[in-house]
Every structure is written in structure tokens, then in C-alpha cells.
Amino acid sequence: MSEKDDEGNICAVSALSRGNTAGSEKLKSFTHYINTAAQWTHEFTVLTECHFSLVLISLLSCTTNQARLTVSPSSSQFFKGDFVSLSCEEDDSSAGWTLRRNTSKQQRTQCGSTWGKPADSSCNIGMMMHHDSGVYWCESREGPISNMVNLTVTGGSVILQSPVLPVMEGDDVTLLCKTKTTPSNLPAAFYKDGSLIRKQPTGHMTIQHVSRSDEGLYKCDISGHGESPSSWITVTGDTLTCLCFCSFQHSQCDDNLMTVFALF
């Protein structure tokens, strides 16, 4: 992978990672922007190397010093009128983080401006409305941001309660198909990427030992009540430390861009 800097020089980016002892490994490449929307909690040991003189320039440790955005109750879908509390958490502290959101009508507005009520380390939305649907995140004054959470508010009668945050590979995941006015133990059908995967007599479905193949867009349906909106479930793997080498011609590479290989 390569990119030209402002002077037209080519910046080539490469990476190296070690495999596990069993020898079974899978490498996945993703582009990481350090100074923009960093959504990963991996630690990186970055090694920069000059293309011509092969002189070691610097060895530094890059961390994403992220906050975690938590949602209570833990769901990505809500009925109109529901109460929701969102919190920015980092090492048991919320100092220096601001909760923001993007909706169809507003961009990067913060809690307490035109929506939400700040309360200690949280932001409370007393009655969720359709215009509260959008992407929420925590942002610091220095620039880093937390994980992003997509919340959907529906005026319908069925929602799918699913994990808000990414799920670790190997964990169990329970989905709940819930109605607004009746008990949440009605028979329900569950769909992934538009295809029926299971019918459950009590409205609950558990996916045991989730893998990458379970990642996708889920929804549910309760006969006589309707269908829920769709929510994306993300499955993540283990993190690791890796060595990244950046080589350049005469001038520095773009410090904002690197390609990192993670072991899953």
C-alpha cells in the first residue's frame, strides 16, 4: 500500500506481525487513522525506517486512549418514549469527554445543547423520539473518540434487543424480540441479512460461541405485531501488538495513515 505526500513523494506502508504457537493464524488488514476516528483499542508498537539510508528514526508506542460509550438499557433499538442513559467511561473516569451525536437533522451536536440532559458522568434522554435516531460517540478535547453506537428509535410495536458494543469471538449472544405493550415471550422469527435463521417459541434466541460468520444485519418478527428495525452485530477478535514499518523517500510519510495487521 502506498500514498503520495504533498511533495509527490511515495510513502509505502508495510506491517509485520507474529503468529500464534499453534501456527493457525489469520491476518486482517484495516486502515487506522490516528488523529481522526480511531475506533480500535489495539496497542501498536510503531517502527519507522528511512527508505534510502535504512536508518532507524524512532520507536514509539501508539495507544488509542479511548473512552467507552455505554448505553443503558443496553440496546441499540428503542420505542418512542423510552428513557435512555449514555455514559463516557475511561479508566473509571469521564473527565474531559463530551458526548456528541449525528442525526438526520443535526451534526456533531453535544449533550445539553438541543438534546439530552447532562447528569454527573451521563447524558439522559427522558423520552426518545424518532429524531433521536443516529450515531453517538464520546469525544475528547485532544481529538480521540470512543466507539460509535448507532441508536434507532421506532414508532412501531416491535424492537430487537441486541448487543450495542462489538461482541468478542467465542462469546454467547442473546437476542430478544420485544413488543411494546405485550409480554416479551411471544413466538418470534429471527433474520440475518434478510434470511430466516430461526423461529423461537419464547422470543429469545442465543447464538453460542459467535464467530466472524455470525456478523451481520439482524431483525425479528412477531406474528400479528410486526417487524423490528434492523441492527448490525459486530464480532471482534483478540488484540495483539505488532510492528509497523513506514518507508519514505526524502520526506516524512503521512503520520496519520498506517496499515496495521491484526491477528484474529
- C-alpha cell at position 227: 417487524
Write the CB contacts of 34 (distance below 8 Å, at least 6 apart in sequence): 62, 255, 256, 258
CA 6 to CA 9: how far, in whole Å? 7
**pLDDT tens by residue, 51-100:** 333 333 223 333 444 688 999 999 999 999 999 999 998 765 656 789 99
**pLDDT tens by residue, 148-169:** 999 999 999 999 999 999 999 9
Contact 214, 233 (CB under 8 A): yes
Q: What is residue 91's predicted lDDT score, i.e. its pLDDT? A: 67
- Domain range annotation of the chain: 2-64+239-263, 166-238
**pLDDT tens by residue, 111-150:** 999 999 998 889 999 999 999 999 999 998 877 889 999 9
Global confidence as pTM? 0.66
Q: Which CATH superfamily is domain 166-238 in?
A: Immunoglobulins (2.60.40.10)
- For residue 77, the 8-state DSSP code is E
pLDDT at 34 over 80: no
- C-alpha cell at position 21: 504457537
Burial 70-83 (b: 16+ CB within 10 A, else e): bbeeebbbbbeebe
Please tell me whether residue 152 adopts helix, strand or coil conformation: strand
